[in-house]
Amino acid sequence: MVFGRLLGQFSKKIILAGDILGKKAMRDSDLELAYFQIGSAIIAHKDLSTILDLIVRESLNSLRAHRVTIFLMEEKSGILKPRSTDVFKSLFRHMGLKEEKEIAKKTIRQAESFFLQEPKDFAEFFEYREGSWKVSSLLSIPLSSQGKPVGALSVVLIDKKRRFKARDLKYLFFFGNLASLAMENAFLMEELNKEISSRKTFEQCLDNILCRMQGLFAKEDCNNENHFENSLSVQVATQYRHFGNQTGKKVNWMVGSPSPVTGIGTNRQCNNLIEKSIQ
């Protein structure tokens, strides 16, 4: 009888341990699938908003959380705003969000993670009163890009007896690393696109300069050709004028060639000389 009771208790413990191992294996499988999906999205160069939404959703499911939010600091204004968020129920969307945002600011400012496991842990940040703020457990880790913290990944449980554990923080770091990788990749792609755009603009400007230079060279060649033709015409006219003076013919300057003209008196002068010599 006593042996039966002991055996029953022992069997019960074995079943419970099996359940725990089964849940752990299922959770690990979910995490592996989540990491694979997020990594595939990053490799496929999906836009940053799509990847961050995927990280938030998978973090919510894997950690069995009630709300997950990615806070990012705006570069120009320096204001911290929720970039992506997902909730287990719609009533959890704004509950305790203001206080969560303050912790996210401290996470970014100090570049360190925070693990607030129970309500008493929140006393370090502000007065925690039951009924006024329902967040009971919180995890917050910094997100970095270009070697500096630019945001925070925050996960909360709201008004539940369940609390986050140390392994939950470890799992969250994996999601945070993927989020940082996605932001760094998006930054590099943006810089690459800027470089490509600048290079195209430079090449276009260079093409315009080359076209203008070719136009100037063509115009110069045309001017030189016209100048050569004009110079050749003047030289021909000069040669014709010299030839006309030697042959006793006048040059028609309108045409540029010598033409016979009466009244030059060459034969008449010769006859006069002959007559004078006879006399």
Q: How many domains are there within the chain?
A: 1
- CB count, 10 Å around CB of 45? 10
206 Cβ contact list (under 8 Å, min separation 6):
none
pLDDT digits (tens, 9 = 90+) for 201-226: 777 887 788 887 777 777 666 666 56
Q: In terms of Cα–Cα distance, which of 89, 91, 98, 32 is closest to 65?
A: 89
pLDDT band at residue 188 under the 50/70/90 scheme? confident
Residue 164 forms part of a structural domain? yes
CA gap 216, 25 in Å, rounded: 77
State both tokens at 165.
């554990």
pLDDT band at residue 102 under the 50/70/90 scheme? very high
Model pTM above 0.75: no
For 150, the domain range is: 15-195
Residue 220 forms part of a structural domain? no
Average pLDDT, the chain: 76
What is the structure's pLDDT at 199?
78
Residue 254 forms part of a structural domain? no
Residue 159 forms part of a structural domain? yes
Degrees to nearest 5, angle at CA 269 with 263 and 272: 135
CATH code of the domain covering residue 187? 3.30.450.40
What is the structure's pLDDT at 8?
43
Residue 228 forms part of a structural domain? no
Residue 5 forms part of a structural domain? no
Q: Which of 255 and 107 is assigned the larger pLDDT? A: 107
